[in-house]
Amino acid sequence: MPTRKRRSTLEAGPRSRDEALLAATEVTHRAKVLAEAHEFELAAAWGEAHPGDDAPALADHPLFEANVLFGDRPLEVAGYGAPTVSEFAITEFAVAVGTTSTGGRKLIGSAIETKHRLPRLWDRVMAGEVQVWKARRVAEHTIALPPQAAAQVDTILAPIAHTCSFAEIERVANAAAKEADADNEEDERASTGPFLRVGLDDAKHNHGYVPIEGLLDLDDALALEAAIKAKAHALLDEHPTLDLDARRAMALGLFADGSGERELVIYTHHDTRAPHGIVGVEGASSTGSTITVEQLAEWCQKGNTRVSIRPVLDLAVELTADSYAPTARMREQVILTCPTCVFPGCGKSARTCDLDHIQPWPLGPTTSSNLAPLCRLHHRLKTHGYWTYTRPTLTTFVWTSPMGRTYTNDLTHKRRRTH
């Protein structure tokens, strides 16, 4: 009997500890769910507090036309019947919560969609009975639906949203869409029309290879097939060890340039201290990609390929120009210094961005230190949305919002290596 009593005492300790841990976990999880619901509620409130302006004020202002074309504008972030939201206000919210402008738009849009068009689901989210991510998934499927179809989805899914699967959400949303004749006809036209997708973002998952898919008109497809077949056959003498599929893929690549000759401009980045032969390739996708040194050599040695080598730029040298437009060499230097848009959270490639004069020209000179890449949205935001920024260091930018809030964006880790 004493032995049994001693064992009971020993077992009581771990059991009590485990119960305390589980209880604390439940409390913490509940708090997290409610906190996310509150942020969702604040996102909707922010959107409602900043409706889009259909008619900008100060119509007699000399810059009125420019403000209409490039300034703030109302965005339909949710489905029909929900309020529009100021585009510039979305970015202010996005930076505050640490996401991109696109991420902020999606968050506010799903919150507005849920609150205004899925009220039953909204009530359950606010009560902590359905997690925000599940509500956002439902909202993604209902934004394109007319009001009555969205209401039908809300009626069916709201009671079971806490347990339903993604497949169930999609099934209910598709069923509601089919009952809306106009939307159904539009979906059918979109799904049967010609299209072409080149999956550049998948290059990093396929060792530098890119998937392509599409639908072509029959006559176009027959012409393309004949051209690929002929080029693949012509490549047989030069590449006798390659199978037909590989030669067809190579033929399509050559067919991209009618002359059969291409200029390959590639920036590769390699840490010489690393023992492996892996190099980074700029521009292969939105986030870049990696290939082997051998694969890079193969690209450059392909038939009908002309390779030119450009000199390495010194990123620390201050280049100047007497005009508003920077020189090609200066533009390249700015892009290599800051490979993405310098607005907080934005990852758009600098090669698709405008080069902005941080201090407006002609007060600010056209020099390396006074130029920074901004995507079109954030360039508009700086020019017409009362955002300002400074550049304390070569790769550090301090932004000030219209509300006076400051955000520091450090791009040091993105700066390209140039050796």
Alpha-carbon span 123 to 115, nearest angstrom: 8
Q: Residue 99 pLDDT > 70, yes or no?
A: yes
pLDDT in tens, 114-139: 999 999 999 999 999 999 999 999 99
Nearest residue to 307 (alpha-carbon basis) of 275, 258, 355, 268: 268
Q: Which two tokens stand for residue 342?
A: 């310098």
pLDDT in tens, 261-316: 555 566 666 555 666 667 666 654 444 567 777 777 777 776 566 666 666 677 88
List 15's β-bridge partners, or say none. none
Nearest residue to 229 (alpha-carbon basis) of 241, 244, 219: 244
More confident residue, 298 or 67: 298
Cβ(169)–Cβ(141) below 8 Å: yes
Residue 356 neighbours by CB distance under 10 Å: 21
User: How many residues does the structure list for the chain?
Assistant: 419
The domain limits of the chain are 26-189, 198-306, 320-414
The region of weakest confidence among 76-85, 96-105, 167-176, 375-384 is: 167-176
Strands 406-410 and 268-269: unpaired
